[in-house]
């Protein structure tokens, strides 16, 4: 799927580009008590920072999926350098070529909002085991958004909707996640310091301009658009 913002993250090779960054990921996953026998799916794995952390930190079986070839190339490079036993698959979150009931845990970091949300949640529910859980970090509206702000966000990030907390919870429940918890974190969508970066040799100037535009947008609108971290369970 063509998306300039995702190209930016891919070509600059930014790890932890999601809200809260990698430090938030680490703090959340350390509380999950992930066991070595568990099977974990990192959907929209990007450059593989979280997948490597899962494999190395918990010794669990990690499958990392993304649909961006540059992301996948950089993820494979990371796993090779770190000798991380991660299975890497090119795939579409909206139509996963994976069997039902495959994973104990799914991690999605600023991924679902960039897809058809209902389709992706249905697929993630399908491949998650009964009794399994999903952690997702996603952009969320903090208050009613003006049409102008919505259009600007849609254009900048290539998304088709920005849900609030209640709308996210409803979509999750409709997909089969009957128990939905909000993990307590700061909710404002603030600029996160980039500490993990693997830039491509050739990056078009348009992507530098887009990065500047993204930073300005976050600075100006963090009171209107934030994020939520959901922990969801299948019955």
User: Could you say which DSSP state residue 146 is in?
Assistant: P
Q: Which fold has domain 4-226?
A: Rossmann fold (3.40.50)
Both structure tokens of 62: 């990690």
Of 3, 6, 68, 5, which is closest to residue 213 (Cα–Cα)?
5
The answer to whether 99 and 126 are in contact (CB under 8 A) is: no
User: How does pLDDT run across 17-60, given as a tens digit for each residue?
Assistant: 888 889 999 999 999 999 999 999 999 999 999 999 999 999 99
User: How does pLDDT run across 117-150, given as a tens digit for each residue?
Assistant: 999 999 999 999 999 999 999 999 999 999 999 9
pTM score of the predicted model = 0.93
Q: Give the model's confidence band at 112: pLDDT under 50 very low, under 70 low, under 90 confident, else very high.
A: very high
Q: Where are the domains of the chain?
A: 4-226
Residues 6+ apart with CB under 8 A from 190: 19, 218, 222
Tally of CB atoms within 10 A around 205: 7
Residue 13: per-residue pLDDT: 93
Q: Say if residue 7's pLDDT is above 70.
A: yes
Q: Say if residue 194's pLDDT is above 90.
A: no
Give, for 61, the enclosing helix (H) or strand (E): strand 61-66
């Amino acid at each position: 799927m063509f998306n300039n913002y995702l190209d930016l993250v891919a070509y600059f090779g930014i790890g932890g580009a999601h809200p809260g960054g990698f430090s938030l990921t680490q703090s959340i996953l350390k509380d999950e008590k992930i066991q070595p026998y568990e099977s974990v799916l990192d959907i929209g794995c990007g450059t593989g920072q979280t997948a490597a952390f899962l494999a190395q930190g918990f010794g669990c079986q990690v499958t990392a999926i993304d649909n961006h070839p540059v992301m996948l190339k950089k993820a494979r490079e990371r796993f090779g350098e770190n000798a991380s036993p991660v299975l890497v698959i090119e795939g579409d979150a909206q139509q996963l070529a994976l069997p039902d009931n495959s994973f104990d845990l799914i991690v999605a970091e600023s991924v679902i909002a960039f897809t058809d949300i209902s389709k992706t949640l249905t697929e993630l529910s399908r491949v998650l085991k009964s009794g399994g859980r999903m952690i997702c970090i996603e952009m969320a509206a903090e208050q009613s958004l003006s049409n102008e702000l919505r259009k600007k966000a849609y254009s900048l990030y290539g998304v088709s909707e920005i849900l609030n907390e209640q709308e996210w919870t409803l979509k999750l429940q409709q997909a089969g996640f009957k128990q939905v918890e909000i993990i307590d974190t700061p909710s404002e969508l603030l600029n996160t310091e980039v500490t993990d970066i693997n830039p491509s040799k050739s990056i078009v100037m348009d992507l530098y301009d887009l990065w500047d535009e993204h930073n300005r947008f976050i600075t100006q609108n963090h009171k209107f658009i934030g994020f939520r971290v959901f922990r969801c369970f299948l019955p």
